[in-house]
Amino acid sequence: MNTTTKLPDQKKVGMVSLGCPKALVDSERILTRLRADGYAMSPDYAGADVVLVNTCGFLDSAKEESLAAIGEAISENGRVIVTGCMGDEAEAIRAAHPQVLAITGAHQYEQVVEAVHEHAPPSQGPFIDLIPQPSEADIKLTPRHYSYLKISEGCNHSCAFCIIPQLRGKLASRRVDAVLREAEKLVAAGTKELLVISQDTSAYGVDIRHEERMWKDHPVRAHMTDLARELGQLKTPGGEQPWVRLHYVYPYPHVDAVIPLMAEGLLTPYLDIPFQHAAPSVLRRMKRPANEAKVLERLKAWREICPDIAIRSSFVVGFPGETEDDFKYLLDWLEEAQLDRVGAFRFEPVEGAQANALPDPVPEAVKEERYARVMEVTERISAAKLAKKVGTRIPVIIDEIGEPDDDGDIGATGRSQADAPEIDGAVYLRNVPADLQQGDFVTVEVEDADAHDLYGVIEGS
């Protein structure tokens, strides 16, 4: 009589990932480790033996969102492990949700895995144990065609409004050959766009004295410009050059060296620079590592070298002590800088931040009024810049493809080189070919624009 061996049911893990792209990469790495231990991933609460909530603790509003997500996971599943930036506030989490099984801090991969093993022991057996060990790039929480590439952890700055160094520690750069190896694997697996992230991309390698490692038979320094140049050499299996987009770039002098790489086509002509403000007095109170000195001159020089460059930034309004003159200085600076993409945030006191002790807090009503004014200025600038693109042809990467309408026409959503996923605008396309695929690069004739987005048709369609 033939007998068969019944495999034990795989334990399943659910994941709720909150916060920034750096936290998303942490979530991918945790899930990859767990899958290597024989766990399966659950797409919903009901099917999970345990749920992980990767929290954000940067602002009080983010902490509230994290606590709400933990509460929802407890209500829907009941077996919850908390990790991430808010994990350092275990007492606050347990005060709100005493049912939580375990709490770990940011990028504590081993502790998270141990907690899952304790509360949902992995299925054991010779068949399960023979599951191949996947690489770090195997589990992705983003679409297949773009990937976040984290090059370092932590930060060496002590900005008055920020507690990131307390949550994630000092700068810890990855080996440059390890970063390039991961990037190469991602591109080989279908990534068409690499989004380089860290807390301070410009500082990459400072902590390891820009050590050299061998890569493709030649030495490469752990330095932003060297890394960017090597990433620009990658090719997809189809021979295309993936977009390489730099985020969280502080405007140190050596940033000038990456602009020619954009002009040469090795890097996507896009820089995400967290200016935060422009008024010198506010920047001093913020304890920012760079001020506005000569930034406008550098922006002009960058545009002369690479006319297509798009500059994105974010600004804080209502920082303690910000006067009306300070705010007007910021508005005037924005008019001159003509940034392509801008996000604004109302200042929020964060427990543990130095800014909480500063005098002259700005009333909430004034914060709201200034936020509205800065958004009006930046939307007007954006609308004018996008209007100039009408009638031009631009490269676009396809993110989503819709279903045919009643007439059989198919629409699609993509992004230009000036648009990072989820934070910038989009390019909406009409009448796309039926064989168009997610991740395809196409040339688009721009037909219309508004304050944030472009509209057009694929060239030749």
Report the alpha-carbon angle 137-58-155, nearest 5: 65
Q: What pLDDT is stored for residue 363 in this prediction?
A: 95
Annotated ligand binding at 20? The verdict is yes
* Class of domain 393-458 as given by CATH: mainly beta
| Per-residue confidence (pLDDT) for residue 85, from 0 to 100 | 86
Task: Identify which of 302, 313, 309 has the alpha carbon closest to the alpha carbon of residue 274.
Answer: 313
Residue with tokens 């506010």: 282
Q: CA 6, CA 133: separation in Å to the nearest integer?
A: 22
What is the architecture of the domain spanning 146-387? Alpha-Beta Horseshoe (3.80)
pLDDT at 35: 79
Work out whether strand 80-84 and strand 102-103 pair parallel, antiparallel, or are unpaired: parallel
- Three-class SS of the chain: CCCCCCCCCCCEEEEEECCCHHHHHHHHHHHHHHHHCCCEECCCCCCCCEEEEEECCCCHHHHHHHHHHHHHHHHHCCCEEEEEHHHHCHHHHHHHCCCCCEECCCCCHHHHHHHHHHHCCCCCCHHHHCCCCCCCCCCCCCCCCEEEEECEECCCCCCCCCCHHHHHCCCEECCHHHHHHHHHHHHHCCCCEEEEECCCHHHCCHHHCCCEEEECCEEEECCHHHHHHHHCCCCCCCCCCCEEEECCCCCCHHHHHHHHHHHCCCCCCEEECCCECCCHHHHHHHCCCCCCCCHHHHHHHHHHHCCCCEEEEEEEECCCCCCHHHHHHHHHHHHHHCCCEEEEEECCCCCCCHHHHCCCCCCHHHHHHHHHHHHHHHHHHHHHHHHCCCCCEEEEEEEEECCCCCCCCCCEEEEECCCCCCCCCCEEECCCCCCCCCCCEEEEEEEEECCCCEEEEECCC
Q: Return the closest-CA partner of residue 196 out of 248, 233, 149, 229.
A: 149
Burial of 350: CB neighbours in 10 Å, binned 0-12, 13-18, 19+: buried
pTM of the model as a whole? 0.77
Q: Tell me how far the alpha carbon of residue 182 is from its chain's centroid.
A: 17
Q: Distance of CA 368 to CAs 60, 223, 329, Å?
A: 17, 40, 18
Architecture of domain 12-129: 3-Layer(aba) Sandwich (3.40)
Using an 8 Å Cβ cutoff, are 446 and 390 in contact? yes
Say whether 162 counts as a known binding-site residue.
Answer: yes
306 is in an annotated binding site: no
Q: How far apart are CA 187 and CA 194, in angstroms?
A: 8
Given a contact cutoff of 8 angstroms between Cβ atoms, the answer to whether 188 and 237 are in contact is: yes
For residues 56 and 86, the answer to whether their CB atoms sit within 8 Å is: yes
Q: Residue 48 carries which side chain, given as an amino acid letter?
A: A
Integer Cα distance of 403 and 409 in angstroms: 8
For strands 412-416 and 427-429, give the pairing.
antiparallel
- Which residues have CB under 8 Å from 210's CB, separation 6+? 221, 222, 223
Domain residue spans in the chain? Answer: 12-129, 146-387, 393-458
* Dist CA 17 CA 25 (whole Å): 10
* Both tokens assigned to 277: 């403000």
CA 415, 419, 421, 424 torsion: positive or negative?
A: negative
**What tens-digit pLDDT sequence spans the chain (461 residues)?**
445 544 456 789 999 988 777 778 888 888 877 877 778 888 899 889 999 999 988 777 888 899 999 999 999 999 999 998 888 888 899 999 999 999 998 767 778 888 988 998 876 543 344 333 444 445 666 788 999 999 998 888 777 777 677 767 788 999 999 999 999 999 998 999 999 999 899 999 999 999 999 999 999 999 999 999 999 999 999 999 999 999 999 988 899 999 999 999 999 999 999 899 999 999 989 887 555 558 899 999 999 999 999 999 999 999 999 999 999 999 999 999 999 999 998 988 877 778 878 889 999 999 999 999 999 999 999 999 999 999 999 999 999 999 888 888 999 999 999 999 988 999 999 999 999 999 999 999 999 999 999 999 999 77
- Closest residue by Cα to residue 58 from 158, 152, 164, 155: 164
Rounded alpha-carbon distances, angstroms, from residue 378 to 4, 369, 373: 67, 15, 9
pLDDT for the residue numbered 356: 79
Whole-number pLDDT of residue 169: 79
Beta bridge partners of 80: 51
- The pLDDT, as a whole number, for residue 140 is 66
Phi first, then psi, for residue 21 (nearest 5°) are: -60, -30
